[in-house]
C-alpha cells in the first residue's frame, strides 16, 4: 500500500498458527533483513540511505528477540482487513496509519 506501513507491532503480523510455521516465518524475515544488510540490490536505489544499516540492525535485533508464540499485549489489534484499509490509510501519502491512535500519518505530522 503506497510507501509501506508506518507504526506496527511485530505481534500484528500473522506468524502462523503452529510453532513450526512461526519459526519458519521468523527465519524468513531474518533472512530478508540480512539480505538488506548485505546491501542486496541497493544499487537500484539511486542514492545512499545514510541510516538504513543502523535501522535494519535495530529491526533485526527486535525480530531476533521476538517470540511469536508469546506476543506482548499491544495497543492495537491486527492490521485492518481489506474493507477497513481506507479507514487506516493516509490518502495523501499512501501509507497505513494507526488512525485509532493518531490523528494522521507520520509524514503529515512532519510537515
- Interhelix angle for 52-65 vs 19-37, to 10°? 160
- d(C-alpha 25, C-alpha 17), whole Å: 11
pLDDT tier, 13 (very low <50, low <70, confident <90, very high otherwise): confident
pLDDT of residue 105: 72
Q: Where are the domains of the chain?
A: 1-8+75-111, 17-67
Per-residue pLDDT tens digits for 23-47: 999 999 999 999 999 999 999 888 8
Residue 27 in grid coordinates: 527465519
pLDDT of residue 65: 93
pTM of the full predicted structure?
0.60
Spatial CA neighbour of 60 closest among 27, 17, 106? 27
Would you call 48 helix, strand, or coil by DSSP?
Answer: coil
Amino acid at each position: 500500500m503506497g510507501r509501506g506501513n508506518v507504526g506496527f507491532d511485530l505481534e500484528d503480523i500473522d506468524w502462523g498458527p503452529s510453532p513450526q510455521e512461526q519459526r519458519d516465518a521468523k527465519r524468513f524475515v531474518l533472512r530478508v533483513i540480512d539480505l538488506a544488510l548485505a546491501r542486496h540490490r541497493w544499487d537500484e536505489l539511486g542514492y545512499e540511505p545514510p541510516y538504513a544499516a543502523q535501522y535494519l540492525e535495530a529491526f533485526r535485533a527486535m525480530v531476533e528477540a521476538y517470540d511469536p508464540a508469546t506476543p506482548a499485549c499491544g495497543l492495537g489489534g491486527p492490521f485492518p482487513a481489506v474493507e477497513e484499509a481506507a479507514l487506516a490509510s493516509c490518502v495523501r501519502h499512501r501509507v497505513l496509519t494507526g488512525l485509532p491512535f493518531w490523528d494522521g500519518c507520520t509524514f503529515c505530522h512532519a510537515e
